[in-house]
Structure 1
Amino acid sequence: MNRAVFVGFLFFLLVLEGTVLQWVLPQAWGSTVVIVPQLVVAGVVILSLFRGERAGLIYGFGFGLLHDVVYGPVLGMHAFTMSAVGYFSGLISRQFAPGAIVSLLTTTLSITVHLIMIFGLYRLFGLTDMNWNQALVYHVAPSVVLNAVAALPVDRVLRWGVRKLETRSLSFD
């Protein structure tokens, strides 16, 4: 049951970042700054902090592949990067207790790595001619700032869901 709730919430985030957020971002209003919403990546990272690296790998691959099918120009690019980010953020959960600060720092670092990996793969396959400096200033940095702020409500909802849906033992908690 709780897997279905998490999958539904991540699917909601995927639809949200592809529909509503596209109207309110600066590029829709003619700005040179392009913000790429990464709410699903934030959700996968936060889930992998609570559920471990295997869950991060599975959720990352599934939703990355779904993102590639719906929005991506190349099949498998987001699936690879999102599953790698989910797996390595799940490994961080073994080293640190998943508190709010660890979630925020891990999510920010993971979104940064994800965006840089996606841009590197776009450059590798010739899908963009933008140079690294321009991409970091006009795409990656603003996207990381917005997604770090947007990851806080995602963290709160997923933290509540993990606490609410975890199985209770018969002993006194």
Structure 2
Amino acid sequence: MIRLLLPALFVFLFILESLFVELLPAELFHSDRILVPHFLMAGILFLTAYLSPKHGILYGFIFGLLFDLVYTEIIGIYLFMFPVIAYLFAHMIKILQTNVLVVSILTLFGIALLELGVYEMMLLINITDLDFLTYVKIRLVPTIILNLAFIILAAYPFKKQFETIADRLSHD
């Protein structure tokens, strides 16, 4: 049962991102800002911190591939970025503490890194022509604020859930 809970949670986060985009578009606020939910990435990074880096990187790889297949025209951007960010995050967590505040701040940093990596890749292959300052204003900052709100709401439940799963897996 516990082995199905983790994949179910991440499938839920994957679906929640698309539901958020569909149900709460930026036009609703009469704004040209682009809000990009990265709830799945936040979950992967909390998983990396509180369960294990191996699980975080594996889920990053699996859901990065799924994300590319479903949402992007180019296979590989999220397939590469999710596990690499989880790997870097795991190394930062080894140096720093794993309290919920530090993990939340590093998760927000990881989401910013993901956004910047995707922007640079899109710029490199000429999918976007936004200059960097415009990108920061209309996409990066609103995305960081949205994901900060999500992290504030989800950090403690994620921490408790992943610690519980880690405890159960260590006793099996």
Task: Give the CA deviation at 1:30.
Answer: 4.8
Instruction: Report the equivalent of 2:113.
Output: 113
Q: Give the whole-Å Cα distance in 1 for the aligned partners of 2:131 and 2:20.
A: 29
Task: Give the CA deviation at 1:80.
Answer: 0.6
Query: Percent identity between the aligned chains?
Result: 21
Secondary structure of 1:130's counterpart equals coil
Indicate conservation of the 8 Å contact 2:26/2:34, yes or no: yes
Instruction: Report the equivalent of 1:50.
Output: 50
- TM-score normalised to structure 2 length: 0.90
Instruction: Report the equivalent of 1:15.
Output: 15
Indicate conservation of the 8 Å contact 2:53/2:86, yes or no: yes
Task: Give the CA deviation at 1:52.
Answer: 3.3
Report the count of equivalent residues: 169
Q: Give the whole-Å Cα distance in 2 for the aligned partners of 1:28 and 1:120.
A: 28
Instruction: Report the equivalent of 1:152.
Output: 152
CA-based RMSD: 1.7
Instruction: Report the equivalent of 2:62.
Output: 62
Instruction: Report the equivalent of 2:2.
Output: 2
Instruction: Report the equivalent of 2:97.
Output: 97
Gaps of 5+ in 1: none
Corresponding letter in the other structure for 1:73? E
Instruction: Report the equivalent of 1:140.
Output: 140
Task: Give the CA deviation at 1:93.
Answer: 2.1
**Farther-moved stretch of structure 1 (84-93 vs 117-126):** 84-93
Task: Give the CA deviation at 1:162.
Answer: 2.1
- TM-score normalised to structure 1 length: 0.89
Instruction: Report the equivalent of 1:82.
Output: 82
Gaps of 5+ in 2: none
Corresponding letter in the other structure for 1:26? A
